[in-house]
Amino acid sequence: MNALLEKHTKDIEDILKKYPEDQKRSAVMPLLYVAMRENGFVSKQDMYDIAEIIKVSATQVASIVGFYTLYHDKEGGKHRVQVCNDLPCALRGSGEYLEKLCENIGIKVGETTEDGLVSVESVMCLAGCDKAPMFQEQNPDGVFYHEDQTVESTLELIEQWRKQEAK
């Protein structure tokens, strides 16, 4: 049985109603969000379940997860800090910013802090090159953009998150 469909029958049916019968594969992105709601990432089993629902290969589903920065295939921190590190942003110091930020919070790029609060990732193009260094923050409340960052300003933000968690 398809575990994702079993858990989220109504949500999945509502999504699939929006697509013609021969175009169900177009529902892949909203279905990925359904899968991510529970744990903050899409498991391999979720990818197989989605593939079965929309009648494509699990590899096709995985390629969507791998391409878009808003989908994740592994667990991460409550706050995902995704630093844009493409060439224009790198020319504005994003590489050094990313390195120093990770150094200050005691992790490497792609890792999560011991308290599970922050994951830091390097991504390509968040469309704010003129405001670099910048990052996209994903948390349970949504997606937020932080532009013209310094390591100090980001550390202050992380400290605010820690205080909120302590409450």
69-108 burial, b for 16+ CB within 10 Å, e for fewer?
A: bebbeeebbbbbbbbbbeeebbebebeebbebbbeebebe
Q: Is 13 helix (H, G, I), strand (E, B) or coil?
A: helix
Q: Which residues, other chains included, contact 47 with Cβ-Cβ below 8 Å and sequence gap of 6+?
A: 35, 58, 61, 62, 65, 73
- Is the link from the previous residue into 88 a cis peptide, with omega within 30 of 0? no
What confidence score (pLDDT) does residue 141 get?
84
Q: Quick one: how far is CA 52 from the chain centroid?
A: 23
Give the Cα separation of 23 and 37 in Å (integer). 24
Q: Which CATH class is domain 3-67?
A: mainly alpha
**Positions of the chain with pLDDT under 70:** 1
What confidence score (pLDDT) does residue 142 get?
87
What confidence score (pLDDT) does residue 140 get?
83
What confidence score (pLDDT) does residue 131 get?
94
Share of the chain above pLDDT 70, in %: 99
Q: Is the dihedral of CA 90, 127, 38, 44 positive or negative?
A: negative
CATH 1.10.10.1590 residue ranges of the chain are 3-67
CATH 3.40.30.10 residue ranges of the chain are 79-166
Q: 79-166 is classed in which CATH architecture?
A: 3-Layer(aba) Sandwich (3.40)
Give Cα separations from 81 to 16, 71, 158 (angstroms). 32, 13, 10
What confidence score (pLDDT) does residue 14 get?
95
